[in-house]
Structure 1
Amino acid sequence: MSLRELALAPDLAFRTKIITVPEWKNATVTLREPSGDAWVKFREFLTPPELGDGEEAPKLTAAQEFIRNKEADTILFVDVLRDEAGERVFSDDDIGTVAEVYGQVHKRLLNVALALGVDQDQAEKK
């Protein structure tokens, strides 16, 4: 492939990591850093609706905040989980289904994918 072809290849535009998930019968999955589109959807989901003058956003209970954060994580998770061929496992239509079962394994996988997007220089500064 030429440099131009490499730069324009959609599957090469993101960092990826292949890992084995013991909890999923040792399935091999590819994790990819989140796309810009997924980040936009994530931020839109977490942004409260605009309020009128003098209105305050309702305070969420701990349970409501947990559910909101889990659903927001799911938006990113369905974007980053790939099969061995690098294809998305879930579509955006699956977000609700995945959110119902989203647990610690999903969270750990998402954290691995998020870490792929951290620039090494930034990580060393922290």
Structure 2
Amino acid sequence: MAKDLKTLALARLSGFRHKTVKVPEWRNVSVVLREPSAEAWYLWQEVLNGDGEDDDTLSVVAKTRRNLEADVTLFCDSPV
């Protein structure tokens, strides 16, 4: 499976670890799982750190909401 340098450089997933899996719940459709980008990791940390509030001062609801927003930021990352 020889590929030229241009093809490899322009491949959408070439810079990311990824794995193709079949999802039985979706009639065995193939899905590509890709690691988040560096930007997504950065934004995830930014959301988790929030306004610099200490975890001890946040309510359980506020912590849960913050963590959910951070996860959405991380897992909705899309390649450019």
User: What's the TM-score bracket when you normalise by the shorter of the two chains?
Assistant: 0.5 to 0.7
Higher helix share: 1
1:46 paired to 2:48: yes
- Select which of 44, 59, 62 maps to 1:61: 59
Q: What is the TM-score normalised by the length of structure 2?
A: 0.68
Long gaps (5+) in structure 2? none
Long gaps (5+) in structure 1? 51-55, 81-87, 89-126
**Aligned position for 1:9:** 10
What root-mean-square deviation, in Å, do the aligned CA atoms of Structure 1 and Structure 2 show? 2.5
C-alpha separation in 2, matches of 1:34 and 1:71: 15
**Aligned position for 1:72:** 70
Q: How many pairs align?
A: 74
Percent identity (aligned):
41
Mapping of 1:102-121 within 5 angstroms? none
Q: CA deviation at 1:16?
A: 0.9
